[in-house]
Structure 1
Amino acid sequence: MTETWDQLEQSQPIVLKMLKNSLKKNRLAHAYLFEGMKGTGKKDISILLAKSVLCENLLEGYVPCETCSNCKRIMHGNHPDIHIVEPEGLSIKKHQIQSLQEEFAKTGVESKRKMYIVSHADKMTNNAANSLLKFLEEPNAETIAILLTEQIQQIIPTILSRCQVLSFTPLSPSKLVEQLMIKGIKNNEAPKLAQLTNNYEEALLLSSDEWFVQAQKIVVKLYETLKGNSLEALVALQRDWFIHFREKDQYDRGLDLLLLLYKDLLYIQLGKQDKIVHINEKELLEASALRLSNHRLTEQISAIFEAKRKLQGNMNPQLLMEQLVLRLQEGSSVV
């Protein structure tokens, strides 16, 4: 199920407002560059724009009906006048752009209008970029180009100058939570995912990743053992953590999850219970927050940030975790 204009407008209001105005005034540019982080809706909005351009029953001058033949075929990726170019392997090759040019030299199959979408435009080889440049320099009035990129600095200036650049902003945590819950993510999981990433696609992948599901349980279990003696916590590391967390990026994700627990403690101390993301562990965290001084909690959060920095500095991950556990336990003080 594709997202509607209203849903996408909530996540990228500035981009959608500009496209809405251009559609209503029939002043679409001949070439757009959609730039922004992965997961900000660039591909979804390019498909939405394609439907708005070719829809047979356009609503209010800009909203595709989603039910006509053109809308359905675009949604299923088989409209003859919409062409999408993806990298072959690591790059977009010259022959791909040349094939596109040959295709667009023909008359539109269904209508006069045609559109092409170049995904990961920053991955074009120099020859491919130069071929595309010639294409952009001689625009057909009925042709619309959309280039998508996460690395705008990699796009050659001559192509940039021939495109209208629309910048896609990262989703705010609250908007991301809304989007995830629309997709069926549970209300006790969506806030956690939105704190770990502002990338919608990554959040969806994490939600169904069995490794990540298990990682959350191990982190909460480790947190619970930190209230006991240091030997118990070190045993927990050996028994659970070191078996599950093996790669550097996995350690980093584990530290992020641990950090979220301590941030929740801070929110509880500040009276901001509505901001906590570990909803299922709320009672456990409230009891812990009562026993900790604000100063001690700040020290613990700082220790996790320091561990993340050391991890990037290539410190031995197992030694790092053992040191962190001892620091999180030492000198626990009462309010």
Structure 2
Amino acid sequence: MPIQSWQEMSDSQPIVSKMLKNHVKKQRVSHAYLFQGDVGTDKEGLAILLAKSIFCNHLNQHEPCQQCKECRRIDSGNHPDLHWIVPDGASIKKDQILHLQKEFTYTGMESNQKVYVIVDAEKMTDNAANRLLKFLEEPTRQTTAILLTENLYSILTTIRSRCQIMSLQPLNPDHLQQNLMEQGLTEANAKLIAQFTQSTQEALEKSNDAWFAQARKLVVQLTEMLLYHPKEVQLFVHTHWMPHFKERRQLQEGLDLLLIWLKDIVNFHVDYREAIIFIQHQERIEKASMQWSLQTVTMAIEFVMEAKRKIEQNVHPQLVMEQLTLQISR
């Protein structure tokens, strides 16, 4: 369920919500915003809420009505004056920004107001970023840019300087975990899923995701193979791991699960048991800590982090996994 009101957003992001509400109420919406926050902080939901507050015909002080034609069009993704730019493959390209600029030379379909949202703005190519910079340097009063990013410092300094930066605070995993348990999840499931999202709705969806359930099993199986059957690991990667983690995004999530498992072994070594996430596998984690020294596990974590960087750099996934498992099983 998308965020419906600034009051609802205030529960998780009180500072940012208060600032944006004041901008709407005083009709001082900036020409450019940069929303920075971790996965799960619902930057897109915040962008939609701000867009509704700009376009809604029946604002109640600062709250969009959610019922008018403008609000419904935004919900359906069909508002003619709200434009979304998302990565085309691995990046946002110059042609996408040029097309956006061309669209903005036309008068708004419903009013003179136009809004554009750039998702994963850190993935703009240098040419795209420089083109956007020229766009931001010549703002019109009726245009609002909303850039979304997980990594503020991957955005050009010159672009950052032309935006109002809104930093979304990370949500408390313990709070989310408790909330999920109240929704019926087991402690083990709630503890793990809270590591992957800060949204209750996304977490509930993930708890019912058969793909994610199988991913967890494969991570446990991979660690068992690395520990006890290292000569068979490459075959396991080829026949079981890669067929499941087909997309780069999926492989990143699999590596995140592997990182959590390895960090659990570290926490067992240092006797920090309450921090263990895979609580239903504590016996396996204890056995693993007997096989792998603290130094070995720490090195394995570094290898996984390097593998994640290579996936981000478009190195062939199969080669990345083969190298990673060889490094860990040495």
Structure 2 contact 266–298 (Cα < 8 Å) conserved:
no
In the alignment, the residues of structure 1 paired with residue 129 and residue 273 of structure 2 have an alpha-carbon distance, to the nearest angstrom, of 56
Compute the TM-score of the two structures, normalised by the length of structure 2: 0.67
Distance 1:175 1:68, change over 3 A: farther
Question: Aligned residue for 2:296?
Answer: 303
- The alpha-carbon deviation at position 261 of structure 1 amounts to 4.5
Question: 2:215–2:254: 8 Å Cα contact kept in structure 1?
Answer: no
Q: Does 1:21 align with 2:14?
A: no
1:213-272 CA-to-partner distances (Å, cap 9, x unmatched) read: 33422454677899xxx8x665885885775346996884464243254367579x6674
Are the counterparts in 2 of residues 133 and 158 from structure 1 also a CA contact under 8 Å? no
Corresponding residue for residue 168 of structure 1 = 168
Alignment of 1:64-103 (within 5 A): 64-88=64-88, 90=91, 91-93=93-95, 95-103=98-106
Q: Any idea what the Cα deviations from partners look like across 1:60-101, whole Å, max 9, x if unmatched?
A: x22223233221111111122323334556314253133132
> In 2, are the aligned partners of 1:171 and 1:198 still within 8 Å (CA)?
no
Counterpart secondary structure, 2:105: helix
Whole-Å Cα distance in 2 between the matches of residues 241 and 120 of structure 1?
Answer: 30
Cα distance 1:162–1:255, how it changes in 2: closer, same or farther (>3 A)?
A: closer
- 2:262 pairs with 1:259: yes
For residues 154 and 224 of structure 2, the distance between their equivalents in structure 1, rounded to whole angstroms, comes to: 47
183 and 320 in structure 1: CA distance in 2 versus 1, 3 angstrom threshold: farther
TM norm structure 1: 0.66
- The CA distance in 2 between the partners of 1:225 and 1:130, in whole Å, is 50
- Asked whether 1:49 is paired with 2:42, we answer no
Partner SS state of residue 189, structure 1: helix
1:194–1:203 Cα contact (<8 Å) kept: yes
**In structure 1, what is the Cα distance between the partners aligned to 2:185 and 2:112?**
42
Q: Deviations over 1:132-167 (max 9, x none)?
A: 13532xx22x43232334454454455433322222
Matched position secondary structure for 2:34: strand
- In the superposition, relative to structure 1, how do residues 144 and 301 fare at CA in structure 2: closer, same or farther (>3 Å)? same
Q: Map 1:121-160; keep pairs closer than 5 Å.
A: 121-122=121-122, 123=124, 125=128, 128-136=131-139, 139-140=140-141, 142-153=142-153, 155-160=155-160
Residue 22 of structure 1 and its aligned partner are, at CA, apart by: 2.0
Q: 2:317 is matched with which residue? A: none
Q: Distance in 2 between matches of 1:270 and 1:52?
A: 46
SS of the aligned residue for 1:125 comes to helix
Q: Secondary structure at the match of 1:34?
A: strand
Q: Describe the SS at the equivalent of 2:148.
A: strand
Structure 1 pair 249–23 and aligned structure 2 pair: CA distance change class (3 A):
closer
| Residues 35 and 149 in structure 2, CA contact (< 8 A), matched pair in contact too | yes
C-alpha distance after superposition, 1:24-58 (max 9, x if no partner): 33332232222344543222211110112222333
> What is the aligned counterpart of 1:244 among 240, 244, 250?
240
Counting only pairs closer than 5 Å after superposition, residues 203-214 of structure 1 correspond to structure 2 as 212-214=212-214
Distance 1:99 1:180 in 2: 45
> Which piece of structure 1 moves more, 201-210 or 26-35?
201-210
Counterpart contact for 1:33–1:164, Cα < 8 Å:
yes
Task: List runs of 5+ in structure 2 lacking aligned partners.
Answer: 246-250, 308-319
Shift in alpha-carbon separation, 1:240–1:191, aligned structure 2, 3 A: same
The one-letter code of the counterpart of 2:213 is V
Please list the CA deviations of residues 272-321 of structure 1 after superposition, one character each: whole Å capped at 9, or x if unmatched.
Answer: 4xx55335457x57xx87x99xxx77974543222222454999544444
Classify the secondary structure of the residue corresponding to 1:43: helix
Match of 2:314 in 1: none
Aligned 8 A contact 2:267 2:273 in 1: no
**Matched residue pairs, number?**
301
Name 1:333's counterpart in structure 2.
none
Q: Which residues of structure 1 form unaligned runs of 5+?
A: 324-335
C-alpha deviation, 1:17, in angstroms = 1.9
